[in-house]
Structure 1
């Protein structure tokens, strides 16, 4: 029976890359999208959101929206409406491109994790596993964000959708796109002998 080769899994590197990626993504959304979101909420008659949520919480909602996680707003709780669309879609224009921010950031993070250990991962599947370790740092940040970005507005609670947030933003995004970044580095490394 052939001896199976064991590959090391860079959990620490993946954890650091996941945390850094989440923080950089959040700050980028804060800087680029916050003013436009405030203007759109005023135009939509949703000033109550501006009065109840701080700027960093609004940016958090926007960051979760970039992952496809919409704001959980109880029906008929607010005077205005976003008509069932996400916050980035409500802002429109070039801000819709921010939906790609978490994807690109996580592909890069997965690539960096794999690049750091590139001599170890010659097969794309091994490199994909290494890149997916970004979930170790990204998931706790997502869970913390879901708690921190919850706003109690008296009779209603406003927050990103919890289950969708954990599954989509916390697990699916870093695993899929981190793995993709890792595999791309392995393929490029094998093709162009980047070791």
Structure 2
């Protein structure tokens, strides 16, 4: 990293990574919400915020699962729902989405890729490995938001994003891979100037 910060070569920009990551998470969710409100709104009447959250998590391959109702013992053994792949839709009696699934899949990827790119660029990084580390540091701003979203996007404490998948896929894997890729791209662009 450049002399622009006081972080050493072995340290990650946690504060900046958190800010860029949180911004990317919120931006991609809000873009998903806007598209859901415009194109899929009839499917989620009354639950538009949760419905957009479900599609946002489905875009990162996090299933929507039914949990055992509060106060009941035992588990619910039903398949998870993914509006983008069509998994489990017969159970909820709805059709697939209107927009092509690739549009929703692209939103978090592009947001996290852009966050990693611009974060790394802000430090003037020219080394590929350092670029991957800096870009991947957006995970610090996303991990807690993605886990919190698994609770926020629940309906009546019985239907919501799978919490483990929300943490593993949407909270760690997607931001690290996409952010690091953006960081690598930024470092490569800076090194060729």
Contact preservation (8 Å) 1:7, 1:126? no
Answer yes or no: is 1:106 the counterpart of 2:102.
no
TM-score normalised to the size of structure 2? 0.78
Answer yes or no: is 1:145 the counterpart of 2:175.
no
TM-score normalised to the size of structure 1? 0.77
Partner of residue 27, structure 1: 30
Unaligned runs of 5+ residues in structure 2 are 1-7, 69-78, 86-95
Separation in 2, partners of 1:84, 1:91:
16
Partner of residue 177, structure 2: 176
Separation in 1, partners of 2:40, 2:159:
16
Greater share of helix: 1
CA RMSD of aligned residues (A): 2.3
Contact preservation (8 Å) 1:10, 1:113? no
Partner of residue 126, structure 1: 130
Partner of residue 62, structure 1: 55
Figure out how many residues of one structure are paired with residues of the other and give that number.
Answer: 166
Q: Secondary structure at the match of 2:100?
A: helix
Based on CA coordinates, which of the two structures has the bigger radius of gyration? 1
Could you tell me how far 1:95 is from its partner in structure 2? 4.4
Partner of residue 115, structure 1: 121
Q: Secondary structure at the match of 1:151?
A: coil
Separation in 2, partners of 1:61, 1:149:
7
